[in-house]
């Protein structure tokens, strides 16, 4: 694990001033878009990724300051690394208001073409990683009597992927759907909300694993990482009286 420490509180003002968000998979794609959006609103950011170089590039490209951001490099399924990183974030910022589980992997293949290694790696990152992160963060939210966990899911966690396409990924997202519902019920008495965002086709690096060739017109009709960030922003800023248990984002112009 590698961390970048900070010294003083941020001076940025906005909707999320005095809030702290932990985002996994923050080196690019949806994770980076979320970090950019929340950071622009004054949120202090705890950014996790397994890609140290990518995380450093994101930090530099976004122009963040050490006053606002703390980074950690580790596998999201590495319990010891996750617990140490979360404890370090709470020590630094005093709390974690939001946990947004984004980190994920996707590999093509069906039951006859998915290796044991790919299967294990996919479920470890996409499902076990969400569990490990939630288990590390929720005790602090429970103690505070407040907090919000958002899990990124997929339409392939609600219906099967095309035969032979992305079996392990689909199964992992079915697991995320169950985990999100279970966490929501368990955390409700603590004052903590848990929501899932179910994603249709998103124009990120994951698209390379979609079956078939994509036309420029199809790419233009996909959701963008910024679209996902907008939806997450809406969920996080919703009234405490409301619980957006699940938001499903459709690429409705897709043909």
pLDDT of 13 > 60? The answer is no
pLDDT band at 200; cut points 50, 70, 90: confident
Question: pLDDT tier at 38 (50, 70, 90 boundaries)?
Answer: very high
Of 3-12, 146-155, 167-176, 236-245, least confident by mean pLDDT is 3-12
CB-based contacts of 194: which residues, under 8 Å, 6+ apart? 148, 149, 150, 151, 180, 183, 184, 187
Q: What percent of the chain has pLDDT over 70?
A: 90
- Here the tokens at position 4 are 């970048």
Mean predicted confidence (pLDDT) in 30-49: 96
Q: How confident is the model at residue 2 (pLDDT cuts 50, 70, 90)?
A: very low
Mean pLDDT along residues 244-248:
93
Helices (H), 13-164: 29-40, 52-62, 79-93, 116-123, 129-144
Distance from C-alpha of 197 to C-alpha of 193, rounded to nearest angstrom: 13
Least confident of 26-30, 39-43, 216-220: 216-220
Q: pLDDT tens digits, residue range 128-167?
A: 999 999 999 999 999 999 999 999 999 999 988 888 889 9
Q: Could you tell me if 3 and 29 are in contact, meaning their C-beta atoms sit under 8 angstroms apart?
A: no
Q: How far apart are the first and last CA of the chain?
A: 43
Predicted confidence (pLDDT) at residue 176 exceeds the cutoff of 80: yes
What are the catalytic residues? 169
Domain ranges of the chain: 2-242
Nearest partner of 104 among 27, 25, 157, 32, judged by Cα: 25
**Class of domain 2-242 as given by CATH:** alpha beta
User: What is the predicted pLDDT for the residue at 16?
Assistant: 83
């Amino acid at each position: 694990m590698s961390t970048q420490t900070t010294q003083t509180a941020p001076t940025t003002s906005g909707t999320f001033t005095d809030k702290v968000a932990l985002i996994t998979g923050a080196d690019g794609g949806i994770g980076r878009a979320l970090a950019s959006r929340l950071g622009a609103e004054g949120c202090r950011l705890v950014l996790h990724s397994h890609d140290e170089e990518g995380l450093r590039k994101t930090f530099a490209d976004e122009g963040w300051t050490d006053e606002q951001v703390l980074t950690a490099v580790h596998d999201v399924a590495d319990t010891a690394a996750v617990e140490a990183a979360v404890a370090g974030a709470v020590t630094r910022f005093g709390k974690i208001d939001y946990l947004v589980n984004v980190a994920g992997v996707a590999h093509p293949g069906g039951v006859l073409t998915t290796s044991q290694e790919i299967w294990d790696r996919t479920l470890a990152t996409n499902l076990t990683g969400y569990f490990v992160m939630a288990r590390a963060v929720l005790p602090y939210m429970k103690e505070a009597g407040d907090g919000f966990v958002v899990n990124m899911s997929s339409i392939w966690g609600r219906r099967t992927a095309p035969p032979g396409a992305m079996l392990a990924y689909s199964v992992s997202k079915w697991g995320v759907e169950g985990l999100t519902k279970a966490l929501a019920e368990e955390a409700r008495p603590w004052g903590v909300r848990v929501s899932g965002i179910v994603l249709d086709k998103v124009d990120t690096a994951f698209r390379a694993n979609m079956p078939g060739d994509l036309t420029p017109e199809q790419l233009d009709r996909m959701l963008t990482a910024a679209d996902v960030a907008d939806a997450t922003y809406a969920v996080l800023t919703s009234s405490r009286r409301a619980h957006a248990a699940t938001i499903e984002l459709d690429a409705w112009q897709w043909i």
